[in-house]
Every structure is written in structure tokens, then in C-alpha cells.
A and B are shown apart, each in its own frame.
Chain A
Amino acid sequence: MLQHILDATSTGSLYAVVALGIALVFGVMKLVNFAYGELLMVGGFIILLTEGLPWPIVVLCTLVGVAALAFLMERIAFRPVREADPTTMLITSFAVAILIQNVMVWISGRRAKGVSFGNALAEPVHIGSASVPIVELVTIGVIVAVLIGFVFLLQKTETGVQMRAAAEDFRMARLLGVNANWVIVATFVASGLLAAVASLLLLATTGAVSPYIGLTPVLIGFVATVIGGMGSLVGAAVGGFLLGVATVVFQVALPDSIQSYRDAFVYSSVILVLLIRPNGLFGSKALEERV
């Protein structure tokens, strides 16, 4: 039982970080950033490249590299369409995703490559009757730390307050003197840092990287953001966590014969949640239709 709880918690917290990165950008720009998964994927390749180095350097390179890519993405692709409607931005972001993915195909080929980063963490530890890979505990620990740091950033720093204000009501924030360019760049960089963290934890768990590893996380983050209630950061994190927990619960609870249908159950419940609460669990008032 304890084992399942830890499984669910670590999967859920990883999903929560991914969802938070997506929700942050969505909140400020109303941009559904499909290319977020590719940040994670590129992070994986940075880990692959730097893998011989001591781990703090690997972590640092990944954080810096992914944040830089997020910055470039905003400058080159998203700034020109910032004034456009959400559909245009959505389509642009998936084009950016396909672009980055295929640049990696060009550079590295389509095949998955093994990564030894975090191998040491695969060893199981025994807690009572449960046997849990260390990496799960590390994941939970790191994510709790990241979330605390993140809350601190949003609550206590000037930029954080501006980011929250912009997520709540972008126009009002601008009228009150928030610099739009700065707050958007900061948002992208912050979401890049979250992607880098997710990337490190994901690779330490799976041990392989290919140009296609970004898709699943971005879908999860996308879905979690909507379930949580678009524009609500807490909602996105909770939505991600619940999605992770749901995945593990279905994994454990479904009888073997229909086990392989797990994802069908997970995504059917997503549809169900949306039908019951179309604005998500923590729907933000800013998104309700005003006449």
C-alpha cells in the first residue's frame, strides 16, 4: 500500500511540475505552449551530452540550456504572434514543437539513446514492506523543494508578484505599470527552469532520451492545466497531481485483462471531469464569458 502511495505521489508530483510550467505561460499569455514538451526533450539531450561530468554541473547545464531555449522560443516565435488570437498562438506553438523535434531528429536520429544519469538512484530502498526506488523519493523531495521555491518567487519577489498579476488580468497589470516584455520573458524562463527540473527527474527515472519524449509530458501538462482550471496555477499543479495519481490508481486497480486499456480509462475520466466542470476544478473567474 505504502509503495502504491509513493508511486502515486512521485508520478503525481512530476506531472504537477510539468503542468505548472504550462499553466504559467498560459496564465500570462493565453498561450497553450505545445513546445513545452520539446524543452523537456532538449533538456534530455543536454543531459546526454554532459553525462560524464559531475552531477551538479549536469544539473546546471540543463537548467541554463533549457531556460535559454525557452527565452529564444519566446523571442523568435511567440513575440510576433503575441497580439494574435489564441488559435493562432496554439498553432504556432505546435509548429515550434515540430520544428525543435525534427531539428533533434536531424542532429541525433530517431532512435532512443540510453542515459546513465541518475542510474545510482534506481536502487530500491526498503521501507517496512515496501521496496521503492530511491529516485521516487528524490523526485518527491526535489519537487517539494522546487514548489516551495516557486511559491517564494511568486509571493515575495517583485517579478513574481508581477507574474501573478499578469496571469490574473494582463491588461490591468500593464495599465498599472507592469512591463509586458519583461514579465513574459520572466515567465518563459521560469517555465523553462521547471521543464529542466522535470527533464532531470524524468531521465533519472526512464534512463533514455529520443526526440519524441516530449509528447507525453506536454499532453499530460496540457490536460492537467485544463482539468485544474485554466489560468489557475494551484489548479494546474493539483490537476497534474491528480492525473498522476489517477494513472497509478488505474494501474493498480484495473484487473489484468483490461490493464492495457489504462490510458483509455485515464483520458475518459478527463472527458468526464470536463463535462461535469467545464471550467476545470479551480476555474478562474477571468476566463468566464462576460457579456
Chain B
Amino acid sequence: MASDTVSQMRESLSRGRGSGLVRLVVGLVALVVAAELLSGWSPAAHTFAITALVHVMIVVGLFVFIGNSGVISFGQISFMAIGAYATGLLTTDVTRKEFLLPNLPDWIASIHLASFPALVLVGVGVAVLGALVGIPLMRLSGLSASIATLSLLIVVNVLITQSESITGGNQTFVGVPITTSTEVAAAGACFAIIVAALFTRSRAGLRLRASRDDAPAARASGINITRERVVAFGLSAGLIALAGAMYAHQLGSFGPKDFYFELTFITLAMLVVGGIFSLEGAVVGAVLISVIEELLGRLENGEGIGPISLTLHDGVTAIVLAIIVILVMIFRPAGLVGGRRGGGGKEPDDTEPEPVTPGPVKDADLGSVPDF
């Protein structure tokens, strides 16, 4: 079975390679051009363009792990928090750090890096950290893995809010140099997309998807599922940490609440609305939901969109987004892009697996469901 799946994938990969590359390049160019045009329009649009690009990075990072492994992780946003705080500590001016965080241990207080080396260090560092955290966690599957990653989110949040001498606790962390321009954010998003596309096409990505589609068969074919997941988990952590670093450098300030349940939910919603198993879907979902969120958010705050100046009630944005997610789940459970071949060489089989149990009976036989 697994060798069938693998050879099927091989075939579709070699068939899809040419057109996939074209799609990827066209998609990246479109993304960058759209962001640039938007940035030139107005200051608000500029801010939005960067926010949307950061969202793309996060959701692509989620896709690398969740999309390829089929394991829902609620913990990835904790790596964003770690990325943001690490960047903040590395790049904030030394005298300013001394003033804002007087109890900081000396060796952290004296570090000062430019933002690019800090980005590299944070991305690589958190990727390694993610892989290390993943070594025990990735032994779990399905719901247990989801709960363990959810616990990770909570643990990291508690550590950040309680380690006041290092992070400032519940206070907003301020004073990070503002260096995330549209170009930087666009470069970050393109980098994330290219890494995700390469990973999805790599042997490791292939093995991971084989384990997602049929875990016992993959195992029988000699795939070490835990190891494959650890790699993807680390890679995803690194990309999401980079998004965290970009976020920190976008506004210059952030707090622990920015990286908790709300963002976890909204980014997961972006991933599933676009199509959980497709890289293209991840990007489309991130952009689409960001746009809807921005437009409704503006109305909610009474800012108006161009000539429209109706004011929506507090909560409406979230209500609309929730309804969109419910409708997509009911009518297009594979996501908006799910059925099509994605930029990462996805074949339609992945999103609409043959039902192993025929008939309308709800699947109680979990043996046939590869992973939660």
C-alpha cells in the first residue's frame, strides 16, 4: 500500500514538476506585486500588507507540519512567541534594555545584533529547539499529539508571562527596532513558501505524507514516522519563529497575549479554509481571511472602508469568520483550494482519500483514518 502510495506520488511529482514550478513563481510574483501596490496606497494599507504577509508565513509554517503530517498541532504559535521575544532581546538597544528590563541577566543584557543576523539566528535556533521539543512529542499521534501541543502552548505562555525579569511578564515588550518593511515581509513570505515547496517535494516530505495517508503501511515500508515528524515540526517551528521575529520588528512592541489562543485559532482557520493539505491553500486562506478580517475590523472600529462608513458591532468580525469556517467545513471540507493540484506538487488523492469504509456509516473504525 505504502509503496503504491509512494510510487503514485513519485509519478505525480514528476508529472507536476514543470507546471508546479511555473505556478510557484507566478504565485510568488503575484504576492509580492500585490503587497507592493497595496503598501503604496495608504499607511493603513501598508500596515495591512505586512500583517497579511506575516500571516502567510505563519500559515505556511503550519502547513509544513500539519499539512504534511496530518497531525493537528495547537502549539506552533508558541514558537512564534519564542521567536518574537528572542528577536526582541537580541536586537533592542542595550541602554534601552537596561532601562526597561533592569533585572535581565548580564549576558542577555549585553547582546546587541542587527536585525538580519538576529533573524537568521532566531530562525535556525528555534528550528533546532522545535526539533528537540518534537523528539518526545512526536512519538504521539492523533488527539494525544494535539493535546500535548496544546499543553506546550499553555506552558510556553506561562513561562513567558511569569519570567518577568527576562520578558517583562504580562507587560508589553517595547523598544524593538522597526525594520519590517513590506520588502522584508515579502521576502520572508517568499522564503517560507519556497522552503515549504522544497520540503513538500523532498524525500522527507514524501515519506511524511505517506505516513499521513497510511501510517501502518508507511511503517511497514521502513518509514520512521516519529523521525519524519520531528523534521517537519522543527522546520515549521523555525518558519513560524521567523514570522514572530518579523511581527516584533513590524510594530516594535508585542505582548504574550498576541501569541495565544486567538492567533492559534485564526491561523488554523486560515489553513483549513484554504485547504489543510495544500500549500497553495495555505497561502490563499491566509490572504483571504486576512483581507476579510481587516475590512470587517475597520468597520468594527468605525474607520470605514473608502466611502462605506457603517459601524459594526464589537464581535461581528469574529462571528463572520466563524460562519465562513463552518460553511467551508460543511460544503468544502477539503478547503477552497483543496481539490486542485497545489504549488507543492499535491495530487488530488491526498485531499479526497478513497473512503475505506463504504456507505454512509460514520467512521467508527479509526484504523482506517490515518491520523486525527
Residues of B within 8 A of A86 (CB): 142-143, 369, 372
Alpha-carbon distance between A200 and B70 when the two chains are bound, in angstroms? 38
**Could you say which of A105, A226, A275, A286 contacts B314, with CB atoms under 8 Å apart?**
A105
Assess whether B143 is in contact with A267, with CB atoms less than 8 Å apart: no
Residues of A within 8 A of B148 (CB): 270-271, 274-275
Alpha-carbon distance between A230 and B269 when the two chains are bound, in angstroms? 25
Alpha-carbon distance between A171 and B357 when the two chains are bound, in angstroms? 10
Residues of A within 8 A of B325 (CB): 91-92, 95
Binds A, one of B54-62, B81-89, B112-120, B359-367: B359-367
Assess whether A291 is in contact with B362, with CB atoms less than 8 Å apart: no
Residues of B within 8 A of A92 (CB): 325-326, 329-330
Given contacts A105-B315, A106-B314, A219-B150, contact A95 B322 (CB under 8 A): yes
Assess whether A275 is in contact with B136, with CB atoms less than 8 Å apart: yes
Chain B residue with minimal CB distance to A174? B361
- In this complex, how many residues of chain A approach chain B with their Cβ under 8 Å: the count is 60
Assess whether A99 is in contact with B326, with CB atoms less than 8 Å apart: yes
Residues of B within 8 A of A96 (CB): 322, 326
Residues of A within 8 A of B126 (CB): none
Query: 0/1 per residue, A263-291, Cβ < 8 Å to B?
Result: 11001101100110011100000110111
Alpha-carbon distance between A92 and B362 when the two chains are bound, in angstroms? 17
A94 to chain B, nearest CB (A): 6
Residues of A within 8 A of B44 (CB): none
B122 within 8 A of A: no
Given contacts A87-B72, A271-B152, contact A261 B162 (CB under 8 A): yes
B199 within 8 A of A: no
Given contacts A92-B329, A95-B326, A270-B151, contact A261 B144 (CB under 8 A): no
Assess whether A290 is in contact with B143, with CB atoms less than 8 Å apart: no
Chain B residue with minimal CB distance to A211? B315
Assess whether B367 is in contact with A264, with CB atoms less than 8 Å apart: no
**Could you say which of A87, A263, A286 contacts B154, with CB atoms under 8 Å apart?**
A263
Query: 0/1 per residue, A207-243, Cβ < 8 Å to B?
Result: 0000000010001001100110010000000000000
B333 within 8 A of A: yes
Alpha-carbon distance between A6 and B146 when the two chains are bound, in angstroms? 32
Given contacts A95-B325, A267-B151, A271-B137, contact A109 B314 (CB under 8 A): yes
- In this complex, how many residues of chain B approach chain A with their Cβ under 8 Å: the count is 54
**Could you say which of A88, A171, A260, A278 contacts B141, with CB atoms under 8 Å apart?**
A278
Assess whether A264 is in contact with B333, with CB atoms less than 8 Å apart: no
A220 to chain B, nearest CB (A): 11
A79 to chain B, nearest CB (A): 10
Given contacts A106-B314, A110-B314, A260-B162, contact A289 B216 (CB under 8 A): yes
Given contacts A91-B272, A219-B150, A274-B148, contact A81 B159 (CB under 8 A): no
Alpha-carbon distance between A18 and B247 when the two chains are bound, in angstroms? 37
Assess whether A291 is in contact with B367, with CB atoms less than 8 Å apart: yes
Alpha-carbon distance between A12 and B95 when the two chains are bound, in angstroms? 48
B268 within 8 A of A: yes
Assess whether B318 is in contact with A102, with CB atoms less than 8 Å apart: yes
**Could you say which of B147, B318, B330 contacts A274, with CB atoms under 8 Å apart?**
B147
B135 to chain A, nearest CB (A): 11
Assess whether A102 is in contact with B147, with CB atoms less than 8 Å apart: no
Residues of B within 8 A of A230 (CB): 143
Alpha-carbon distance between A160 and B7 when the two chains are bound, in angstroms? 48
Alpha-carbon distance between A91 and B308 when the two chains are bound, in angstroms? 32
**Could you say which of A99, A180, A268, A290 contacts B362, with CB atoms under 8 Å apart?**
A180
Residues of B within 8 A of A105 (CB): 314-315, 318
Assess whether B322 is in contact with A99, with CB atoms less than 8 Å apart: yes
B128 within 8 A of A: no
Residues of A within 8 A of B159 (CB): 261, 264
In the A-B complex, the 3 residue pairs with the closest CB atoms: A290-B367, A105-B315, A170-B364
Mark B residues whose CB is within 8 Å of A: 70, 72, 136-137, 139-144, 146-148, 150-152, 154-155, 158-159, 162, 215-216, 261, 265, 268-269, 272, 276, 313-316, 318-319, 321-323, 325-326, 329-330, 333, 357, 360-367, 369, 372
Beyond A98-B322, A287-B366, list 20 extra A-B contacts (CB 8 Å): A30-B366, A82-B362, A84-B333, A85-B333, A90-B372, A95-B322, A95-B326, A99-B319, A171-B357, A215-B261, A223-B147, A223-B151, A226-B144, A261-B158, A261-B159, A261-B162, A267-B152, A275-B140, A278-B140, A290-B366
